[in-house]
A and B are shown apart, each in its own frame.
Chain A
Amino acid sequence: AQTVTQSQPEMSVQEAETVTLSCTYDTSESDYYLFWYKQPPSRQMILVIRQEAYKQQNATENRFSVNFQKAAKSFSLKISDSQLGDAAMYFCAYRTLYSGGGADGLTFGKGTHLIIQP
């Protein structure tokens, strides 16, 4: 079974600065997908960014980018030019590539609470 570990329960960053959230995972599969979801105080789960394991290029979405290290099974999220609206819980998640036989959903880490200091 896959596991996802987020070792930082809480992170704090000054507005306009850059912050990196860590995520590691454990899997025996060679192909899979990784995601970062954001959960603001409204509690809605919002997709931030997605990475396919077979792609070497790191995914980027505006101010959000990832550092995907497949050999190290590491998938960190970098937020540049932090804004007050970025304050939220951030969850790293893993999804298997292969369908069928169950276990087709997402496996989540416990989350990192990101605080933005004005």
Chain B
Amino acid sequence: NAGVMQNPRHLVRRRGQEARLRCSPMKGHSHVYWYRQLPEEGLKFMVYLQKENIIDESGMPKERFSAEFPKEGPSILRIQQVVRGDSAAYFCASSPGQSGNTIYFGEGSWLTVV
């Protein structure tokens, strides 16, 4: 049973470009979460999605960031017009649903903005 799959693992973007990070949840998991980890810090919640629905985006920056989890295909975290401060590790996680179930993490995508 494959785990949470994220790609790309490493992404380099110039300032002003767009970054797209993809996440395929574990088989059978319908809930996806995105977290951001800045250097030397813990993970900060960004957004929680179920298929075709954003449930909680309270951790998402108001501008330039968006997320989706379509009916078919992976979840996408999109960052438009990237700036140096967006450089971070972005972790996707999934769970089968129902609060309390363990959340399993992918290996992360490292975004570097140059």
Interface residues of A (CB under 8 A from B): 33, 35, 37, 42-47, 50, 52, 91, 95-99, 101-111
Residues of B within 8 Å of A107, CB to CB, are 45
Min distance, Cβ B5 to any Cβ of chain A, angstroms: 12
User: What are the 5 tightest A-B residue pairs by CB atom distance, in nearest-first order?
Assistant: A102-B56, A45-B105, A99-B99, A108-B42, A105-B45
Residues of B within 8 Å of A108, CB to CB, are 42-44
Q: Are A105 and B33 in contact (CB under 8 A)?
A: yes
Q: Are B56 and A95 in contact (CB under 8 A)?
A: no
Across the interface, A102 reaches (CB within 8 A) one of B55, B91, B93, B107, namely: B55
Interface residues of B (CB under 8 A from A): 31, 33, 35, 41-45, 48, 55-56, 58, 89, 91, 93, 97-100, 102-105, 107-108, 110
Across the interface, name the chain A residue whose C-beta is closest to B46.
A105
Across the interface, A97 reaches (CB within 8 A) one of B44, B99, B105, namely: B99
A105 CA to B98 CA, complexed, in Å = 11
A107 CA to B91 CA, complexed, in Å = 14
Across the interface, name the chain B residue whose C-beta is closest to A110.
B42
Q: Are B100 and A43 in contact (CB under 8 A)?
A: no
Between A and B, 21 residue pairs with Cβ closer than 8 Å are A35-B102, A43-B107, A44-B108, A46-B105, A47-B102, A52-B100, A91-B42, A97-B99, A97-B100, A102-B48, A103-B56, A103-B58, A104-B56, A104-B99, A105-B33, A105-B35, A105-B56, A106-B33, A106-B35, A106-B93, A111-B41
